Amino acid sequence: MTSLLTTLWYRLTGQPEWKLRQLEQQRQYASYYRLSQLIGWQALSPFYGGEMRLISDQLLRVLERGELAPDFHYRHFTRPKEDGSPRKLAEPDPTLKRFQHNIRKFMLKRAAAHPAALGFRRRRSTADHAWQHAGAHTIVTADITDFFPSTKAWRVEAWWQTQFPDQEDAARLYTLLTTYQGALPQGAPTSPDLSNMVNLDMDTALESRAKISGGRYSRYCDDLAFSWSGRDDMPSDFEAGIRSSMGEYGYHLHDWQVWQGSDEPELTGIILKRRGGVALPETVRQTIRQLERSHDPGDAARLAGYRSYENMVLGLPERRERQKEAQRQKALERKSRR
């Protein structure tokens, strides 16, 4: 309470300051209770704590207005892509970002993504995406144009409705808190996970098309890859079918490329070797060699980072096999204890 407010309160009512604080707390609890009635107690889990009472009014206003402003806002900025073109980003304000981190922790981490969606997932990496297609005779790579801006808010709300089937207001509020300008904002901590959850049906459809043709499918964020072993080309109608499926979900593809057995395509920064296996790009290997020759103490840490990345990429199959063996041993131990 500001001194000016308490002074005015005393002069107008003649009552002490503690009475003003008590009335404010009652109003906050009333707003908190009203919000809980609208969206349900389960939907409040990311906001539990004293702070929730302080921002209940803000969340109620967002729900009633159907927009974030003026209570929350985004900061716009750009960063260069690998090709030098600007990538447009939108960063939420500190309070909204804190809410989004809690939503990610309490709500999104419990939801399941499709196994073919390898981006933004714990214990999955670009190496998993590349190794899926190592040794294939034919590989197709493609990128989704403007992936996050093309993931529209109505699809996000449809997914939130599956999480709150009996709480329409809860689904609406969560949509408002995790979308911006009608789509997933590239720069919000919730967008990567939501892009996987929202596209569960799409990944299922693409994997089905690949399996029917005898191929494999995986997606890392906006990078798609399909591959076939034992055939020198993809099915004749495969590209048209994939583009049609993507269009149903509001996406368009660019950089569609078909790689034959003699090619060595680069997939999410990793080279697929023509005889199977993977390798780091020459630019990365050259950087490692330069760091090895450097006498600068600061380069030792950089070299260790590159070495760790190299081991992560090249040693993935052995590491996955060890994990599977450990899981088999645990299963046998549990079975023997029964």
pLDDT for 9 equals 44
How many other β-carbons are positioned within 10 Å of the β-carbon of residue 10? 14
Long-range contacts of residues 167-172, Cβ cutoff 8 Å, at least 24 apart: 167/39, 167/40, 167/42, 167/43, 169/38, 169/39, 169/63, 170/38, 170/39, 170/40, 170/42, 170/43, 172/63, 172/66
In one-letter notation, the amino acid at residue 213 is: S
pLDDT for 32 equals 63
Residue 264 · residue 170 · CB < 8 Å: no
By C-alpha distance, which of 225, 13, 5, 233 is closest to 133? 225
pLDDT for 30 equals 60
Residue 180 · residue 194 · CB < 8 Å: no
Written as tens digits, the pLDDT of the chain (338 aa) is: 456 545 554 455 555 554 445 545 555 566 666 776 666 656 666 665 545 555 777 888 888 899 999 989 999 998 887 777 788 899 999 988 988 888 898 889 888 899 999 999 988 999 999 999 999 999 999 999 999 999 999 999 999 999 988 888 889 989 999 999 999 999 999 999 999 999 999 999 999 999 999 999 999 999 999 999 988 888 889 999 999 999 999 999 998 999 987 899 999 999 999 888 899 999 999 999 999 999 898 899 999 999 999 999 998 888 777 777 777 777 777 777 76
By C-alpha distance, which of 215, 220, 267, 259 is closest to 238? 215
Separate counts of helices (H) and strands (E) for the chain:
14, 9
pLDDT for 42 equals 60
Per-residue b/e over 35-72, b at no fewer than 16 CB within 10 Å?
bbebbeeebbebbeeeebbebbbbbbebbeeeebeebb
Separation CA 113–CA 120 (nearest Å): 10
pLDDT for 14 equals 54
Residue 200 · residue 111 · CB < 8 Å: no
Predicted TM-score of the model (pTM):
0.82
Q: How far is CA 318 from CA 63, 271, 323, 324, in A?
A: 50, 18, 9, 10
